[in-house]
Chains A and B, each alone.
Chain A
């Protein structure tokens, strides 16, 4: 089982992992990295080549000046020969131009690479979170997804933006110098080789420690984002329930936690970096000592020693860059771990392997020996079977919490049943092509969620191809046109965050118009008129009568006025359908519905 402890987003908040877990996570992040780099590998290689060339041009500059001073100047002074001088100046100009052009080309190239990778990653995460089913979203809050898409991506971006340059030029520089060193003076090279051991150990130490810290940093950052998002979403409740002070404390703690981790990350680097410099400088001192003694012994020339010492110094020059690279690599790796975890999550409602098409749905729904529970072990719908013939209008009633919404969610495949099947026109929903299913079955959810954007945009979500006339027509059909036209910009009025510009009833009307526009074979209305006034509800009822004539509909409502337009009533109680008949039969009977209906009638005026 230990294999599953870090599957997907499991164990995401843990920072110390067993070696096997680490290995598994590393494999998964590297795989993702590979997938991301593959499409741009041509450009990555080009970028590397440009870096190599521009490094060469940069190195050439000082060499040419040295040439100018050491060779060309004496030539002018001694022989009045200007040729080497012009050569040096010309070459210097040329290398300057080439170097400058290459550097600026590199800047653009590397931005293209890093932006292409980031775009790819953003879209992957977005698409994948859309594919994941509701059970995932219920436990993995939006704040965490947002933090994956923002702060985690920032970490990766930092690596991509400067990483290639630092890595390539650093490695290049070090290996050239190393080769030169071995050729020049193997013994000094040996000292450097020995210095690599503490260097490696220090690197290991840094990796171990920083890995844990960077993981903690990702988690802490996500926690502040989660708290932040939740506070902003629920700002009214925060204010009205005097939660401000407590929130400030709580958020402050999270911020302080994040700050502490950041400080520790930086502190760690503050040891790593001078540590590297120390190792470098000590090895130079050792080379001076060993070399000096050898010079004294006469085994090497003083000039060789000077060169060896300068090379050694230069060998360690890019160490700081490399340390920086390693640091941002570790940080990006921690971010990639989290992102790859989300991407590894399997949708609880998987897409069919071989999707069955349903081009002309009739709307015949059937539950066969179905049971259902939401992953927490409680069975919400015990085993039942139910057939809804095409074209029937069903009123689904029952006490709150009875399982009405749950039933509707199974019909629109928000979830799959724990056992048994749900079929549409004889096809198991699990096998049905998702696009066809969504076109055939539309649910107006209990929460009328509107996206920021115009009213027209929100209605058009029902059918993005709809014309303006169709949108207006849909609004008119549900009686939403009057209030929309009274808005400052009519259909183009921005509804603000979450539709906050509209009243609750207005939001419901817009959601309704949206469903109307989608024109599905099966329409599921979950308390779609609960916030409407009575005249508005009556108008919607009338619209429904024409709208539902040719389609299957399940109307969930506590206001039993819907029953008037239903062909059949289902009464639910604690997850079971306890009554099922025509409205007339049930009302005239003595069962629960008769009582419920009587109570409701009595409440009317």
Chain B
């Protein structure tokens, strides 16, 4: 059996940096260092585990993003993915979730797939909608937000821990899955992996390669618009006391004063 796995990874600004917006109200991707979205490491990990237990499996990493986004692809290749695709085009600047799904779906189709693996959400937009959008566009089942996932006999199964219940899901391939940070620790690239990644192929595609019109994506093609963005005022410094036996009582006093008791 062969199994073509496509992992979708996003290159995001580091959450520990001072993330901000640029003048056109898009995410500032220049002044803060970027990296492979930590939650997508779980997707790479599960893809590699599934590939490891399937004969003839091949893992392709796909990202849509600016020039530096290739770093995210490289990291996934270092972890063990076989090859990469980087969709990059100046006209993609400011693309909304629906536009991103159009581009990503086209790249996945061009790559060829039996299984698409995504993270649960990016760490910048955090919408958690791309996997569902991809399933809708590709017209295949969505098996999303899995804390446990397995592929066997042309089907994918997994556990989705929802708000009200935990569900056991099953669908036949091809399918789109997303995995949570409960699915299992992601591996670190080994020295051997880092060396091997240097020789792994990464293709770069632009919108023409995917037959996508420039005006359907980017800021102009977006179906939503940010009107303004305001930095949250820092919380005004509160009162800090050191416990010398009365800390609990002092805190209770504060809570009572503010009518919580």
A binds B: no
